[in-house]
Amino acid sequence: MTDLLFAIYPWAKSLHIMAVISWMAGLFYLPRLYVYHVEKAQGVDGAQEIFFEMEEKLLRVIMRPAMYVAWACGLIMVLTPGIVGWDFAWPWVKGAAVIAMTWFHYWLMERRKDFLEGRNTLTGRQYRMMNEVPTILMVIIVLAVVLKF
């Protein structure tokens, strides 16, 4: 099993990087879509349906698969012997930030349900503030992995 993990490690790492880029793009864009949904969709015929479709496709076609691939490849890398030094803080910090990023992803999915069911109570300003969450988590993750503190 160890030989297999070492053999696929470069592929897993490459796929992980690509998946994280795609996932992050969605995590940055979806809250911005919600801002426009709240602020612009009312009063424009058909806009609500357009936003619903854009949000749904972003989540289903880009974000969800990218999150799954990022997690799967990340776990492959973590399971590869000698890659992660568990006696350092960085893997624990990164892991906590990735779990927070995943929670944020699912929080965004719940906000979409609120829009669909006409229950959204958040303002454009609140969605703008939430748009900073993935940025903060990204900074934490990158610093943890690169600086390996």
Domain of residue 57, residue span: 2-147
| Res 42: pLDDT | 81
Distance (Å, whole) CA 32 – CA 26: 10
- In the structure, what pLDDT confidence band is assigned to residue 56 with cuts at 50, 70 and 90? very high
pLDDT number for residue 129: 97
User: Would you say how long the chain is, in residues?
Assistant: 149
Residue 102 above 90 pLDDT?
A: yes
Statement: residue 143 has pLDDT above 90: yes
pLDDT value for 41: 86
pLDDT 10s digits, 61-97: 999 999 999 999 999 999 999 999 899 999 999 999 9
**Domain tally, the chain:** 1
CB 126 within 8 A of CB 67: no
pLDDT of residue 104: 98
The CA distance from 95 to 33, in Å, is: 28
Instruction: Output the pTM of the full model.
Output: 0.93
Return the pLDDT at 43.
79
Place of tokens 């349900």: 113
Q: What is the 3-state secondary structure (H, E, C) of the chain?
A: CHHHHHHHHHHHHHHHHHHHHHHHHHHHHHHHHHHHHHHHCCCCCCHHHHHHHHHHHHHHHHHHHHHHHHHHHHHHHHHCCCCCCCCCCHHHHHHHHHHHHHHHHHHHHHHHHHHHCCCCCCCHHHHHHHCCHHHHHHHHHHHHHHHCC
